[in-house]
Homo-oligomer: A and B are copies of this chain.
Amino acid sequence: MSGKIEKRLAELGIELPIMSAPLANYVPTRALGQTLFVSGQVPARDGKDQFTGKLGAEYGVEQGQAAARLCAINILAHLRQVLDGDLDRVAGLIRLGGFINAVPEFTDHPKVLNGASDLMVEVFGEAGRHARAAVGVYSLPRNVPVEVDAIFEIGQK
């Protein structure tokens, strides 16, 4: 746990949680060659949802950003586990998909997803700049406000 990215996480005051695998037939991460797909993550911690509600109703943009940031932290936590603790093997973030649980009048999806995008660039620098799509949905698992999935490039061991 003494790599470059670990030091950066410590500087940022970010502690990655230990994630448990889903009790189901899907997995948190799946690799194809150097491409690693991370399953959609929600803003939970220690198995408890930290946010429940919709953008434009229970939540405003800033709270949505905090929720998106927590999704991104959970993505990193799964990533660290599958890389046996060595986040320095991440060659770059390729894509984020952001699903914003919002009322029909909501229009600030990009700002909400910036909560996840910004964290990734804080952690990985230029290698964290990514393609993305931010869209609105009107329901999400357990009524969380945001779900984010990711595709990373992993370097050779």
Interface pair A28/B131, CB less than 8 Å apart: yes
Does A43 have its Cβ within 8 Å of any Cβ on chain B?
Answer: no
Minimum C-beta distance from A115 to chain B (A): 10
Interface pair A151/B121, CB less than 8 Å apart: no
Contact A131-B30, Cβ < 8 Å, known A138-B104, A141-B107: yes
Does A61 have its Cβ within 8 Å of any Cβ on chain B?
Answer: no
Minimum C-beta distance from A67 to chain B (A): 15
Copies assembled: 3
- A interface, size bucket: 35 or more
Minimum C-beta distance from A150 to chain B (A): 9
Cα A130 to Cα B100 in complex, Å, equals 23
Does A128 have its Cβ within 8 Å of any Cβ on chain B?
Answer: yes
Residues of A at the B interface (CB closer than 8 Å) are 22, 24-30, 32-35, 37-40, 54, 56, 92, 94-97, 99-110, 114, 117-118, 120-121, 128-143, 147, 149, 151, 153
